Structure 1
């Protein structure tokens, strides 16, 4: 697995349907870093992730490993929220081998690579099953293996555990932390879940409400792994991030006329 690549966003803006979704985004992500993007719904987190993947044209510039992003590339792997991204007519092993086969990797080499990555995500026992035979959590593991087998230097994850039950989500969060430590690729992870961001990330980047969303805060999480949600330092960070996001949500609701400003309280003379 190659070392993770740095990511640099300079003055990044993106317009969809005539509306500017994100504007003036400046962000540096170090090689091998795990960064979570956190923010209110509709603030452009997934849009920004798609831009790094090369799926969306932008103003400004995005560089990965010092090279400009001009479109999708094998150096950037994307794990989607839906496990439907797996091909249902292929076994788990065949799904994982799909990318190397397209690249012309010899049969023996791609079989060895698939076996290694299935073991990495704990799915060796399910290699010959079809996606419909797997639980949601197992399908997401298979999707992660299918991305990692291509040895990307950057892995982009768009709420990959959002559709899972709480127990499965917790297990996969621990598994992802283990996999990241084993591969040391750079990960950019979109989530709505503050606790998920705290448990996983080196840094949490919060975004302002859209339209024209940008970076609001960047919090470094200098806490050892595994992280304890009952730790006072963790709880303090949770409250800080909750307040940051809550302020943006309130601003959006006020702009939509759904929440009124609190009336000023008169003080007695």
Structure 2
């Protein structure tokens, strides 16, 4: 485990990966007078699984929305394999925290086939892609059900399948398991690692959960507290998969991440006129 803000991304070693390299280059994001993200720079290798971690309100989701093309940066650039991000693109798939993004009036198969349908694929191609990605997330047997007939974890898997059916090169995930109970969340984390390895996509995954980041990521990027949040540190997770949370290297990394985030939380409290030391 190495802490280094200059840590270089490690390209995926598996042959046939379809992910794209992502560059965040001196990005500033503002909403009127509010300065959300300041001078953020980060390189993400093709096929890498990168987790964005940081205190609540530090701009993780804002940066992800900018990568998805939903929010234009005030300054700086975002590129995917060298091409600028200028707006939403099928190459960039977004998985939201809430499964309410699914269409309740469509079956599971129709939900997953929606993207290929909008891109002009034939009915046969739509169904073939839907079945392929439903099988990948383990829900082929639920194809004819409606979202309301599924559990929360199953609906999130449908949302992942719907994004993957567009065959994006980059998948952006905004705390997708945050609303799930602890047991379902653990299962989904294990499933996500398997799905990522099978799909070959580059994944940028926002989370506030340190253990989740250690379980999933090739690297963990920690952001400072907002406003005007930026990159604080980057850690490579040099642990074999599947990961053992009791591994001494995992425990060391957890301590380092807790320390980094704790520093930022205390700073944010001081900026608000509170003294975290006095609270003790």
Q: Same fold (TM over 0.5)?
A: yes
Aligned residue in 2 for 1:198: 214
Q: 1:17 offset after TM fit, Å?
A: 3.6
Matched ranges for 1:165-184 at <5 A: 165-184=181-200
Aligned residue in 2 for 1:267: none
Gaps of 5+ in 1: 263-269
* Greater Cα shift, 117-126 or 2-11: 2-11
Superposition RMSD in Å:
1.3
Counterpart contact for 2:93–2:164, Cα < 8 Å: yes
Q: 1:233 offset after TM fit, Å?
A: 0.9
Aligned residue in 1 for 2:228: 212
Question: Which of 1 and 2 has greater Rg?
Answer: 1
TM-score (norm. length: structure 2): 0.92
Matched ranges for 1:117-136 at <5 A: 117-136=133-152
Q: Distance in 1 between matches of 2:171 and 2:100?
A: 18
Q: Does 1:38 align with 2:50?
A: no
Gaps of 5+ in 2: 1-15
Counterpart contact for 2:37–2:63, Cα < 8 Å: yes
Q: Distance in 2 between matches of 1:199 and 1:169?
A: 12
Q: 1:232 offset after TM fit, Å?
A: 1.0
Aligned residue in 2 for 1:144: 160
Aligned residue in 2 for 1:266: none
Q: 1:235 offset after TM fit, Å?
A: 0.6
Counterpart contact for 1:208–1:215, Cα < 8 Å: yes
The change in CA–CA distance for 1:246 and 1:127 in structure 2 (over 3 A counts) is: same
> What do the CA deviations read for 1:133-159 (whole angstroms, capped 9, x no partner)?
100000000000000000000000000
Count of aligned residue pairs for this structure pair: 263
Q: 1:258 offset after TM fit, Å?
A: 2.6
TM-score (norm. length: structure 1): 0.96
Q: Distance in 2 between matches of 1:82 and 1:258?
A: 33
Q: Which of 122, 127, 137 in structure 2 is aligned with 1:106?
A: 122
Q: 1:82 offset after TM fit, Å?
A: 0.2
Q: 1:2 offset after TM fit, Å?
A: 6.8
Q: Distance in 2 between matches of 1:92 and 1:139?
A: 9
Q: 1:261 offset after TM fit, Å?
A: 5.1
Counterpart contact for 1:2–1:153, Cα < 8 Å: no
Q: 1:254 offset after TM fit, Å?
A: 1.3
Q: Does 1:62 align with 2:78?
A: yes
Q: Distance in 1 between matches of 2:128 and 2:258?
A: 44
> What do the CA deviations read for 1:163-207 (whole angstroms, capped 9, x no partner)?
000000000000000011111100000000000000000000000
Q: Distance in 1 between matches of 2:134 and 2:276?
A: 52
Q: 1:44 offset after TM fit, Å?
A: 0.1
